[in-house]
Protein backbone atom coordinates (compact mmCIF):
# COMPACT_ATOMS: atom_id res chain seq x y z
CA UNK A 1 0.00 0.00 0.00
CA UNK A 2 2.68 2.53 0.97
CA UNK A 3 5.42 1.17 -1.30
CA UNK A 4 3.69 1.91 -4.58
CA UNK A 5 4.05 5.41 -5.95
CA UNK A 6 2.24 6.25 -9.16
CA UNK A 7 3.16 8.70 -11.88
CA UNK A 8 0.92 11.43 -10.50
CA UNK A 9 2.51 11.17 -7.05
CA UNK A 10 6.02 11.32 -8.50
CA UNK A 11 5.12 14.42 -10.52
CA UNK A 12 3.66 16.06 -7.43
CA UNK A 13 6.82 15.31 -5.44
CA UNK A 14 8.97 16.72 -8.26
CA UNK A 15 6.94 19.93 -8.42
CA UNK A 16 7.11 20.39 -4.64
CA UNK A 17 10.87 19.84 -4.69
CA UNK A 18 11.37 22.41 -7.45
CA UNK A 19 9.27 24.94 -5.53
CA UNK A 20 11.00 24.32 -2.18
CA UNK A 21 14.61 23.82 -3.29
CA UNK A 22 14.58 25.81 -6.48
CA UNK A 23 15.59 24.75 -9.97
CA UNK A 24 19.18 25.94 -9.57
CA UNK A 25 19.86 23.93 -6.41
CA UNK A 26 17.91 20.80 -7.39
CA UNK A 27 20.84 18.97 -9.10
CA UNK A 28 23.11 19.52 -6.10
CA UNK A 29 20.38 18.37 -3.71
CA UNK A 30 19.78 15.23 -5.78
CA UNK A 31 23.51 14.50 -5.83
CA UNK A 32 23.73 14.89 -2.06
CA UNK A 33 20.68 12.68 -1.55
CA UNK A 34 22.19 10.02 -3.82
CA UNK A 35 25.43 10.03 -1.85
CA UNK A 36 23.51 9.72 1.40
CA UNK A 37 21.49 6.77 0.11
CA UNK A 38 24.65 5.08 -1.14
CA UNK A 39 26.36 5.54 2.23
CA UNK A 40 23.27 4.21 4.03
CA UNK A 41 23.18 1.07 1.87
CA UNK A 42 26.91 0.51 2.30
CA UNK A 43 26.65 0.82 6.08
CA UNK A 44 23.63 -1.47 6.35
CA UNK A 45 25.31 -4.09 4.15
CA UNK A 46 28.43 -3.98 6.32
CA UNK A 47 26.29 -4.35 9.42
CA UNK A 48 24.40 -7.31 7.93
CA UNK A 49 27.68 -9.00 7.00
CA UNK A 50 29.12 -8.50 10.48
CA UNK A 51 25.98 -9.92 12.09
CA UNK A 52 26.04 -12.94 9.77
CA UNK A 53 29.68 -13.62 10.69
CA UNK A 54 28.79 -13.42 14.38
CA UNK A 55 25.96 -15.91 13.88
CA UNK A 56 28.32 -18.33 12.09
CA UNK A 57 30.71 -18.33 15.05
CA UNK A 58 27.86 -18.87 17.51
CA UNK A 59 26.48 -21.86 15.59
CA UNK A 60 29.88 -23.63 15.55
CA UNK A 61 30.18 -23.64 19.33
Q: Is the pLDDT of residue 55 over 70?
A: no
Residue 58 lies in a domain: yes
pLDDT at site 38: 96
- What is the domain range of residue 32? 23-61
If phi > 0 it is left, if psi is from -120 to 50 it is alpha, else beta; for residue 6 that is: beta
pLDDT at site 43: 95
Q: Is the pLDDT of residue 61 over 60?
A: no
- 41 vs 35: CA distance, rounded Å: 10
Q: How far is CA 19 from CA 1, 14, 23, 26, in A?
A: 27, 9, 8, 10
Helices (H), ranges, 6-25: 7-21
Residue 48 lies in a domain: yes
pLDDT at site 39: 97
pLDDT digits (tens, 9 = 90+) for 2-52: 678 888 998 999 899 899 999 899 899 999 999 999 999 999 999 888 887
The domain tally of the chain equals: 1
pLDDT at site 48: 86
- 51 vs 61: CA distance, rounded Å: 16
Amino acid sequence: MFGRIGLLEMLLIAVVLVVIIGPKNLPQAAKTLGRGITEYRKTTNELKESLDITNVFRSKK
